[in-house]
Amino acid sequence: MKGNFQIIIMVVFIALAVFGILVFSGAIPIGGNTTPGSLGTVVLWGTIREQTIATPLEEFNNDNPTFVVKYVEKRVGSFDQDLLEALAGGAGPDMFFLPESLAFHYANKIFAIPYQSYPLASFKNNFAGAGEVFLTSKGILAIPISIDPLMMYYNRSILDANSVVASPVFWDEFVKLVPLITKKDDSNKIIKSAVALGHFSNITHAKDIVSALFMQGGNPIISEKDGIFSSSLNTPNSQYSLGSILKFYTDFADPNSAMYSWNKSFPNSSDAFSREDLAFYFGYASELRSLINKNPNQNFGIASFPQIRNANFKITSAHATGIALSSSSKNFNTAFLAAGLLSTGNFASKLNIALGLAPARRDLLKIKPTDAYSPIFYDSALYARGWLDPSPLDTDDIFRRMIEGVLSNSMTVQNAISDASSKLNLLLTR
């Protein structure tokens, strides 16, 4: 009798695994003519505004009548604490939108989907590379739904005034433009800047920009083996040393460098760009609307993040968001199926259009909206990458100290990187 019971359990698990693979891959839908609501209600938490998600979610529930997904909006500032308290008390949601910045923090509170239920090859075939930040040796921490790639915004009027026909594609082109566009007075004080690079404190997304440069050099920043995470910053790379990349970055803040274009006297780089005192600004796709609102009359364009010429691959930084399954869900099977369906088709497509983001699924990235900017966002999302940040505030401090150590000449570039790597390892082993 016991043997028969074990066989039945195994058969059921295999059936669910196969069914789950088909659902996540988009090969089959669920719903149809089965009894409405028969699979119950599952609760989804997130910080997306309810009015933004309401219509796509209503359509999703109508298309999948066998269950109901109920959304609960949480404030950005209290989301982390609210979720921790709810999960600790066993009253948390069945699933929640998980930004990659919190994935490491919640790794032990998430049901990691095993690769037996969702094979790694299927995941990589279905999702763009930025979604791989949710992959661990133990399973999948979240099903990717959105990608927010780091872009290059540029002031068309400034480029036109300097006879620059097109925005630069490669870093060597970019470097040549810096002394042409940067304007200084007789005392070498910068009046108009080509680009905000070199410092940390007054550069929006400084950590993400440096991360993109490091990843372009072939360094993943964080690596994992057998469930153990460690810093890759001290791992040698035969083609590009991180020391030379870090020096390239800090040279933009060195008054003795031909690339000098930024210092601490400037306001935040986002504000400087909107004031039209900055020609190039590295910001995320999701910032488009806020930049338009800050200066509706500004004549700016958007291009992809510059790349290394003749490199074998393209990379930019990205923020990825996925749907994570709570390990304490009371209706886990329905949550599992709902998460797969939410990342597929109309819901993911319409939600990302409403948010100004790119979808994480490769098949959805092929269907580009016809507005002026989405196509370039979608293209960048295909080669965007992220890393599993153990604590964004702490890693901000690590990157700040690394950059400031070089600028103050208190550390060599290599010592600064080694110090950052050691501190990052301490965070990863907490």
Number of neighbours of residue 412 by Cβ within 10 angstroms? 14
3-state secondary structure 33-85: CCCCCCCCEEEEEECCCHHHHHHHHHHHHHHCCCCEEEEEECCCCCHHHHHHH
Q: Could you tell me if 180 and 290 lie in one domain?
A: yes
CATH number at residue 256: 3.40.190.10
Q: Could you tell me if 210 and 309 lie in one domain?
A: yes
pLDDT tens profile 103-139: 999 988 899 999 998 999 999 999 999 999 999 999 9
Phi, psi of 36 (to 5 degrees): -55, 130
pLDDT tens profile 38-58: 789 999 999 999 999 999 999
Residue 107's closest CA among 325, 301, 307?
A: 325
Instruction: Quote the strand ranges of 119-252, DSSP E.
Output: 135-136, 139-140, 143-155, 183-184, 190-195, 222-225, 228-231
Judge whether residue 11 has pLDDT over 60. Answer: no
Judge whether residue 16 has pLDDT over 70. Answer: no
Distance CA 315, CA 305 (A): 8
The amino acid present at 64, given as its one-letter code, is N
Task: Note down the domain range covering 279.
Answer: 149-317+389-428
Compute the half-sphere exposure of residue 227: CA atoms within 13 Å on the CB side of its CA: 5
Output the pLDDT for position 23: 53
Q: Could you tell me if 200 and 257 lie in one domain?
A: yes
Q: Could you tell me if 221 and 103 lie in one domain?
A: no
Mean pLDDT of the chain: 91
Judge whether residue 21 has pLDDT over 70. Answer: no
Output the pLDDT for position 34: 58
Distance CA 257, CA 236 (A): 26
Output the pLDDT for position 218: 94
Domains in the chain, number: 2
Distance CA 106, CA 323 (A): 12
Q: Let me know: does 349 contact 243? Beta carbons within 8 Å.
A: no
Q: Could you tell me if 283 and 323 lie in one domain?
A: no
Q: Could you tell me if 19 and 156 lie in one domain?
A: no
Concatenating the DSSP letter of every residue in 301-370 gives EEEEPPB-TT-SS--EEEEEEEEEEBTT-SSHHHHHHHHHHHTSTHHHHHHHHHHT-EESBHHHHTS--S
Judge whether residue 6 has pLDDT over 50. Answer: no
Q: Could you tell me if 345 and 251 lie in one domain?
A: no
Output the pLDDT for position 223: 94
The pTM of the full predicted model, rounded to 2 decimals, is 0.91
Judge whether residue 251 has pLDDT over 80. Answer: yes
> What does the pLDDT average to over 380-399?
97
Output the pLDDT for position 187: 84
Output the pLDDT for position 406: 98
Q: Could you tell me if 201 and 139 lie in one domain?
A: no
Judge whether residue 398 has pLDDT over 70. Answer: yes
Judge whether residue 167 has pLDDT over 90. Answer: yes
Judge whether residue 98 has pLDDT over 70. Answer: yes
Q: Could you tell me if 240 and 222 lie in one domain?
A: yes
Q: Could you tell me if 41 and 127 lie in one domain?
A: yes
pLDDT above 90: percentage of residues in the chain: 83
pLDDT tens profile 207-223: 999 999 999 999 999 99
Q: Could you tell me if 139 and 273 lie in one domain?
A: no
Distance CA 316, CA 174 (A): 16
Q: Let me know: does 319 contact 100? Beta carbons within 8 Å.
A: yes
**Which contiguous run of DSSP H or E holds residue 300?**
strand 300-304
Q: Which of helix, strand or coil describes residue 203?
A: coil
Judge whether residue 29 has pLDDT over 60. Answer: no
Q: Could you tell me if 50 and 107 lie in one domain?
A: yes
